[in-house]
Chains A and B, each alone.
Chain A
Amino acid sequence: MSDAALLLELRNVAKHFGGLYALSGLDMQVNEGEIVSVIGPNGAGKSTMFNVVTGLYEPDDGDVLFKGQSVVGLAPNQITRLGIARTFQTVHLFPNMTVLENAMVGQHCRTRSGVFGAVLRPPGTRREEERIRGRAKEALEFFGRRLAGYRQDQPAFTLSYANRRRLEMARAMATEPILICLDEPTAGMNPRETLELRDHIKRMRDERGLTVLVIEHDMRVVKGVSDRVIALDYGRKIAEGSYGEVANDPQVIEAYLGTKAAG
């Protein structure tokens, strides 16, 4: 962990909504090639952290560095172009576009043809369109048969819940990111799908070389995939380390189960 390159760094990040401090003085790092899980009770600030990293929110204080460069103040689409992709806690697809088109949208930031290319279709644009299609299919095929075949030409709203989550991940992967941020990817999945997804998260790193930052509630998944676990509560980091260390940390147990003295 120590010799790996630092990829993402949050320095003293704070974000508040009115009087509510969603994040206060959060420091954390993600190294290249790591799978880092973020856990914490509801309202701990996990999704806010994602929104700050991906540019949906601007932090009130502190800095977010990606590959040593500050991303604070950049638009979400600029951050995506730098190489951070994400999924959402509640699935947000483009429901009336086909499954393949959803994934093709992911390729947008890696391609460049403009109005003249679109209207005149010179060979360069055609090749680019082929490449977009190819890369999008490749991203969908990461999930095997789940998003293959006739499904690719169906509108996304026809997909099952688990497949919508998979498609969201495929769309994020189609942006060719360096870091992929997954917000509760197994929420609403059945046990079998959850286990399958755990393997997918590992394969994202092992086969695609992605660094993965994942918010997850299912402890089997957290245990199974994480190189490192970070626990948040009230917008602060309360514990960090291997799954075993964090899971047995008294502060973490207290955050999940409440204060012993109170009972």
Chain B
Amino acid sequence: MGPVGLRSAIAAGLVGAFASLYLALVGLTERFGDLELIGEQVTLGRVLLVVPPLVAGYVVTRPRVVAGERRIPTRVEAAFAGASTGAIAGAVFGAAVAFAEWFDVNRIREVFITVSPGLIEFVTFERGVAAGFVILVVIGVLGGAVGGALRASSPLVRTPIVLGASVAILLGLLQRIIPVAMRQLDLEPSVLYEVSGGLTIPAGVGVIAVTAGANVLWTRSGPRVRDRIRTSAREQPVARTAVLIVVLAVAAILPLLVGSVISEVLGTVMVFMLLGLGLNIVVGYAGLLDLGYVAFFAFGAYALALVTGATLNTTTGAAEPAFALGLNFYIGVWVVAALAAGVGLLIGAPVLRLRGDYLAIVTLGLGEIVSILTQSRWLQPFVGGLQGMRGITDGAIGGLSFRPPQNFYYLALAFVVLAVFVSWRLSASRIGRAWNAMREDEQVADAMGISTTKYKLLAFAMGGAIGSIGGALFAVKIGSLTPASFQILVSITALAVVILGGLGSIPGVVVGALVLIGLPGLLREFEEYRLLIYGGVLVAIMVLRPQGLVPNVRRTRELHEEEVEQDAWAKGVAEHEEAYATVVVGDTVVEEKRPE
């Protein structure tokens, strides 16, 4: 079998088969069997049949060390190995389908409730089990061969193809969102999309071609463009400001372009950006793993409700809370942030001596305490217990309510921009350096004069303040609060946003929130599978790109730039050493100028 052993082919094939089987058993395959992505034939369900053998074929042909040498398979070898792997995947999956048919689908259904006779019809392409088996093997062979061949191709070929296919699939998935947005812009959606379906075939081919072409152009001239941007950014601060203004301008007109459905999603994205930015200070800058961040989110939301005035839901109707201030939102939000900083100190104080895993567990407990408190009878007169509260301020200015999604977006954008600014300034300051040092080595930072107590507390306070603003905005956005919104999942999601984007990276938080909150928000069809997809995406990204999507630049400096400076430096040293000789006299070192 050439460069790939039979055993690894079987192993990868089995994993591929189990992946197909899993997708089928949880119901993804059939549920999206007729979700057309491109034309009528490319449905998401079919893509899910092809992808497992393709990935198996890709994985199995990775370069490996044979007899001490790194062996990269040729394209033909790789395609063959991939095809064999895919054949195994297809055959095992096909056998499983035959077994299901024989065993009786309804009995399987008792455990896997989404399995139905329709699933078997779908995976056998309605041609019976025997023909279906053959089809599945053929799909496996083709998918595996493509996967193997892709792996053996140079990135110059591979990246455009993979990117083009991914973008086309993504656009196909967004078939309910993009046409609406296009209509908003007076564009005719039928240019790209079927009336009720995915991309038209010409549009699909076009998208793949354009994306691939753009990628090829970028790899050819990208470095030069990047260089020019970088040089001009360094030499002319104006250029950097200009880029920033363009980004802000796009952000400012976005809700007008995309309509209220997407604006609604963007509003949630913004709330999580704030949570991510706050948590990034605690975890990314100061290195304190906080799993109870929901505490600040809940505190911000409920505290805003109390300081601006709201009503409690009770079983007998509305009631006044035991405490209410009736402040204006724009004053209240700062009061909340200041109080949350105090809560940060309270949460920080007992965990000062803890590190790593222990800190994570204790903060997890503290977060849980806060979310249970919101449901408690004890606090019921204040926050309404399980019934929650409603009638929360909409932050209106002169009659302009900020509750409609498009308006809320602007309110949230203002706070996100502010939080980004504060995070950025903090990270590039004496405080940021202290956090950085503390994250790298707490004991040494202490020995170098940094009060670790003070800076841990400061991180909790700053992170708490920003997170609570996220909570306050969330309260404004939905107008009513129940404990259901403040569960541990919020902590996990915020942490996932930070880690996925890249610890300590502000653009990372922005991208992380867009990917983790924005995409699922747009793809409502997947609501019931959201957590499954979440988990899959997180695992994939952490394996493929452990430093995050947009890693902190300080840690991934451009090698190129360094080399130039290094050369210049080395030249200077060489000249110095040519001119001076080092002489060890007795046991002293002296430098003597060499005679010309």
Chain A interface residues (CB < 8 Å from chain B):
54-56, 75-78, 80-81, 85-86, 88, 92-98, 101, 104-106, 108-111, 113-115, 117-121, 125, 128-129, 132, 145, 149-151, 153-155, 171-172, 175, 192, 195-196, 199, 220, 224
Contacts and interface: CB of A to CB of B under 8 A. Distances in A.
Contact of A113 (B429, B441, B566, B569): B429
A85 B421 CA distance: 35
A192 B583 CA distance: 10
A105 B429 contact: no
What does DSSP make chain A's interface, helix, strand, loop or mixed?
Answer: helix
A261 B447 CA distance: 44
Interface of B: 421-422, 425-426, 429-434, 436-437, 440-441, 443-453, 458, 462, 554-555, 557, 562, 565-566, 568-569, 572-573, 576, 582, 584, 587-589
A151 B569 CA distance: 9
Contacts, number: 126
B462 A106 contact: no
Given A77-B450, A94-B440, 19 more contacts: A56-B447, A80-B447, A85-B448, A94-B436, A94-B444, A96-B436, A101-B433, A101-B436, A105-B450, A108-B434, A113-B430, A115-B458, A117-B430, A118-B432, A150-B566, A150-B568, A150-B569, A154-B557, A175-B449
B431 A114 contact: yes
A104 B429 CA distance: 11
A195 B448 CA distance: 27
Contacts of B433: 97, 101, 104-105, 108
**Residue among B437, B450, B569 facing the most chain A CB atoms (10 A cut-off):** B437
B328 to A, nearest CB: 24
Nearest to A97: B436
A73 to B, nearest CB: 15
Nearest to B440: A94
A149 B446 CA distance: 28
Contact of A192 (B431, B449, B451, B584): B584
B555 A115 contact: no
A97 B438 CA distance: 11
Contacts of B430: 108, 111, 113, 117-118, 128-129, 132
A77 B451 contact: yes
Contacts of B434: 105, 108
A121 to B, nearest CB: 7
**Residue among B448, B566, B589 facing the most chain A CB atoms (10 A cut-off):** B448
Contact of A154 (B437, B562, B587): B562
A145 to B, nearest CB: 7
A95 B440 contact: yes
Contact of B573 (A75, A145, A199): A145
Contacts of B582: 192
A71 to B, nearest CB: 13
Contacts of B437: 94, 97, 105, 108
A108 B448 contact: yes
A113 B437 CA distance: 17
Nearest to A117: B429
Contact of A56 (B440, B443, B452, B572): B443
**Residue among B426, B443, B450 facing the most chain A CB atoms (10 A cut-off):** B450
A76 B588 contact: no
A154 to B, nearest CB: 7
B587 A220 contact: yes
A115 B449 contact: no
Given A151-B569, A154-B562, A192-B589, A54 B447 contact: yes
B449 A92 contact: no
Given A121-B425, A149-B565, A195-B587, A77 B440 contact: no
A109 B449 CA distance: 5
Contacts of B573: 145
16 contacts: A77-B446, A77-B448, A101-B433, A105-B437, A105-B448, A108-B450, A113-B430, A119-B425, A125-B429, A132-B430, A150-B568, A155-B555, A192-B582, A195-B587, A199-B588, A224-B587
Contact of A92 (B422, B441, B562): B441
A6 B419 CA distance: 51
B435 to A, nearest CB: 11
B588 A75 contact: no
Contacts of B450: 77, 105, 108-109
Contacts of B562: 150, 154
Contacts of B589: 192, 195-196, 199
A86 B444 CA distance: 10
A231 B431 CA distance: 41
A192 B445 CA distance: 31
A65 to B, nearest CB: 19
Contacts of A121: 425
Enumerate the 7 nearest inter-chain pairs by beta-carbon distance, A residue then B residue, closest first.
A109-B449, A118-B429, A150-B565, A80-B449, A94-B440, A92-B444, A76-B446
A56 B442 CA distance: 12
Nearest to A95: B440
A80 B431 contact: no
A128 B554 CA distance: 22
A262 to B, nearest CB: 34
B441 A94 contact: yes
A106 B449 contact: yes
**Residue among B445, B555, B573 facing the most chain A CB atoms (10 A cut-off):** B445
